[in-house]
Amino acid sequence: MFDIDISRILSLLTYDPTSPMIFSSGIFLFLFLGFSLIYCILHKADTARIIFVTLFSYYFYYKSSGIYFLLLAIVTISDFYIARAIAKALPTPAASPSAPVPGASPSGSSATVPDASPSGSYLKPRLLVALSLLIDLSLLAYFKYTNFFGSLIFHDWHNLDIFLPVGVSFFTFQSLSYTIDVYRGNIRPLDRLLDYAFYVSFFPQLVAGPIVRARDFIPQIRRPLLITNRMIGNGIFLIIAGLFKKAVISDYISVNFVERVFDQPTLYSGIENLLAVYGYTLQIYCDFSGYSDMAIGIALLLGFEFPKNFDNPYKSSSITEFWRRWHISLSSWLKDYLYISLGGNRHGKFRQYLNLIITMLLGGLWHGASLNFILWGGIHGIILAFDKMWHSLCPSLSPLPQKRKAATTPNASPSVTSSPAPVPDASPSGTPSSTHCPLSIKVISSLITFHIVASLWVLFRASTFQIASDVFTQIFTAFHPAVLGQWLSSYWPVALLMALGYTLHFLPSTWCNHTRRSVSQLPLPLQAILLVIVIWIVIQVKSSDVQPFIYFQF
């Protein structure tokens, strides 16, 4: 009666290296509908629900990276048992994951690690943390950096055929933060391997973040499942917004303009290269923040809350503020586990600036095994150091927000308040706490900051340093502004989407919040209609192939 092609169905359900499963793909939307039905049935059966979600998460990762889902299992099992061993070896009991520790930072990481006592009571825990670092970073180094360092060390190096599992940098960093937090006494290790596997593999944020801290997520695992109308409304709004940003704006301007210019920049005039830089600046934001929006939205529909990962970063008036607004989960991770571990600002200004530069150099290397990424991170680090220096010398002329006084956090230890992060303090609303900088200086600073960030994205996007050099050469030596009219005529859909994307980004936050509340308060059938409309728009404008998320390569 029904002509069902079983082989076609099986091919869709098995791993295809040319088509990893992503949120904006039809296969994911189809599977998520079935997943949601079973999830609702199991809403009161905690353990069965956790097992089901964990298995689906592993299947999701299998559809992204094939057999390398075993890598996820290795990291999970090793860090689970290492963390338990660390807790047993510590001279004082670890804290509950659901309650803050006196002296811990709000993000869940203490500003200092425990000092070793004369008896060496911290030697074993430190060795265990080192073991966790060795296992996780060795796996990361092999898959991501073998060919890079091999080519730097050996002149006759032949690149090995090494597959890079999707999102390996994200789940290794997330798992590492767990063992380090147990060592620092910020959380108590879990008793169930199942719960930890659920935390590390939770599919909405598994392959491209946000990097969710254990102390934020673990208390949500076993609590009674409660999905409010507010969570459903906000979740649907974020999915709609993320899908539109990724599959409509980002993918279209990428395939139809940006890729062409960055493949052969010398074939295009300087103004076209500049427009491609602006295009990629918008593309990477819409791509990555679109993924984060969908991840946070899907998690809300499942009853879990993630922290915000983007906060209108191109509105920033300094590089420091940019890194407070861009990829917040990674910025705070680098702050808590690298910058502060290097000493923060506890050893004078020079060490603070050096620590900032080292942190950003390693942050650049985290993004990719390329000298372009290292240079990109290093320049960001130098500008961050300059920001701090300028702020300390001329605070009234600096666009940096003024830091909150230590009195606002009476329970914080001196080590926390005296160790500022690479990003400045923010008020609970996510806006700078205060500033005395004149509006005109802020506007000029915002324009300068935007163009610095956009210029550095060239190093991030270009496949080689020569490509990056060609882009800048064309902009500064062959600008030809008369070509603009031709470009607008030939690429008017790209120009329209770029104008729309930047307009939406720079709208006042109050407008965006009002829109979110309005959509989230609509009746569920109307929200479903909105989602269907966005999916229809995606189908109309999408390219022939589903475009992977940019951060899948990291």
Query: What are the tokens at 120?
Result: 């060496």
352/420 Cα distance (integer angstroms): 9
Q: Which residues of 382-491 form beta strands (DSSP E)?
A: none
SS3 of 260-303: the string is HHHHCHHHCCHHHHHHHHHHHHHHHHHHHHHHHHHHHHHHHHCC
367 is an active site residue? yes
Q: What angle do CA 309, 315, 317 make, to 5 degrees?
A: 110
CA dihedral 132, 137, 139, 141 (to 10 degrees): -170
Active-site entry in 327, 367, 380, 391: 367
* Nearest alpha carbon to residue 82 among 131, 140, 126: 131
Q: What angle do CA 66, 71, 74 make, to 5 degrees?
A: 145
* Nearest alpha carbon to residue 182 among 119, 129, 220: 129
Radius of gyration of the CA atoms of the chain, in A: 24
Query: What are the tokens at 117?
Result: 């006592």
Position of tokens 């979110």? 516
Do residues 326 and 310 make contact, with C-beta atoms less than 8 angstroms apart?
A: yes
234/328 Cα distance (integer angstroms): 20
Query: What are the tokens at 349?
Result: 């200004």
* Nearest alpha carbon to residue 379 among 454, 309, 285, 311: 454
Taking each helix axis from N to C end, the angle separating 229-243 and 509-520, rounded to the nearest 10 degrees, works out to 120
329/351 Cα distance (integer angstroms): 24
328/334 Cα distance (integer angstroms): 10
475/486 Cα distance (integer angstroms): 17
Query: What are the tokens at 434?
Result: 């205060």
**Catalytic amino acids?**
367
